[in-house]
Amino acid sequence: MKNVLSIAGSDPSGGAGFQADLKTMCAMGVYGMTAITAVIAQNTCGVYRIQEVDPGMVAAQIEAVFTDIRVDAVKTGMVFNARIIAAIRDSLVRFNAKNIVIDPVMVAKSGDPLLQPEAEEAVRDFSAMADVLTPNIPEAEIISGMSIGSQDDMIRAAEKISALGPRSVLVKGGHRSGAGAEDLFYSGGKAVWFKAARVETRHTHGTGCTLSSAIACRLALGDTAEEAVRAAKDYITKAITSSYAAGKGNGPVGHLAELYRRAGVNTD
């Protein structure tokens, strides 16, 4: 059994945050662990309140895991502010963490901010630690300092982000208009496009959390970064196709849809 640590915020509605990470890890066949960075009052309609966890407590959670259990991969999600980012970075360096996937979470699906503006530079510095960095288009624009409107723009942004230090960059193209959902994987000067048909649904809450967690799981299981992204892309496409209309807003993707089907559970 491989062990994967999620360092992320919470989502009490269960569609995003570490709750989505744990569901993804279960579906991927790894043992999931968590270090919580923020407690969020959130549901499918929006974010209503955020309570950050003290950076020392974030570091203590990470230490508690690493000093007891082998960690085969790490995924980071919502980090909220520069002090928490510093605590995570120092902890991962201290324990020589491997297979690090950084999802630079800045804005929720509802449009609510999940990162303090003054922490944007800290996110750029933190990105250098990533084996795979997974920004969406708006996040890639902030990190690269350029606007993105075309596939050529995605490549130029990936080049700029790659220069910051991450080994691989996955620029997620879901925010671009069009029939497809092309993601750009960029590593070592090589660009690879991952294409999938766009699924017509508003129930895509937690897609970024889920995708980055799936990548971390596949890295833990021994995939190369490109292989991990390919497998994770396949998983998230199936999860979106099996999304669940929970709540009144943007429902979650079907993290455990295959397990539910095997159990005879109807999620319609």
Give the position of tokens 């009052």.
Answer: 41
Domains defined for the chain, CATH in brackets: 3-262 (3.40.1190.20)
Which listed residue (2, 23, 109, 172) is catalytic? 172
Which listed residue (14, 174, 206, 251) is catalytic? 206
What is the pLDDT, as a whole number, of residue 175?
59
What is the pLDDT, as a whole number, of residue 202?
85
160 vs 23, 128, 140, 146, 185, CA distance in Å? 33, 12, 10, 9, 13
Which listed residue (37, 134, 207, 210) is catalytic? 207
What is the pTM assigned to this prediction?
0.94
Going edge to edge, which strands form the sheet with 183-187? 31-36, 3-8, 73-76, 100-102, 132-133, 168-171, 183-187, 190-194
Question: Has 206 been annotated as catalytic?
Answer: yes
Question: Has 209 been annotated as catalytic?
Answer: yes
**DSSP string over the chain:** --EEEEEE---TTSSSHHHHHHHHHHHHT-EEEEEE-EEEEE-SS-EEEEEEPPHHHHHHHHHHHHTTS---EEEE---BSHHHHHHHHHHHHHTT--SEEE----B-TTS-B-B-GGGHHHHHHHHTT-SEE--BHHHHHHHHTS---SHHHHHHHHHHHHTTS-SEEEEB-TTS-SSB--EEEEETTEEEEE--BPP--S--BTHHHHHHHHHHHHHHTT--HHHHHHHHHHHHHHHHHT----SSSSPBP-TTHHHHHHTT----
pLDDT tens-digit profile, the chain (268 residues): 999 999 999 999 999 999 999 999 999 999 999 999 999 999 999 999 999 999 999 999 999 999 999 999 999 999 989 999 999 999 999 999 999 999 998 876 666 777 888 888 999 999 999 999 999 999 999 999 999 999 999 999 999 999 999 999 999 987 565 545 689 999 999 999 998 777 778 888 999 999 999 999 999 999 999 999 999 999 999 999 988 889 999 999 989 988 888 888 877 7
Which listed residue (14, 17, 173, 208) is catalytic? 208
Question: Has 207 been annotated as catalytic?
Answer: yes
R_g of the chain computed on alpha carbons: 17
What is the pLDDT, as a whole number, of residue 94?
98
What is the pLDDT, as a whole number, of residue 198?
73
Contacts of 196 (CB under 8 A, 6+ apart): 180, 181, 233, 237
Question: Has 233 been annotated as catalytic?
Answer: no
What is the pLDDT, as a whole number, of residue 261?
85
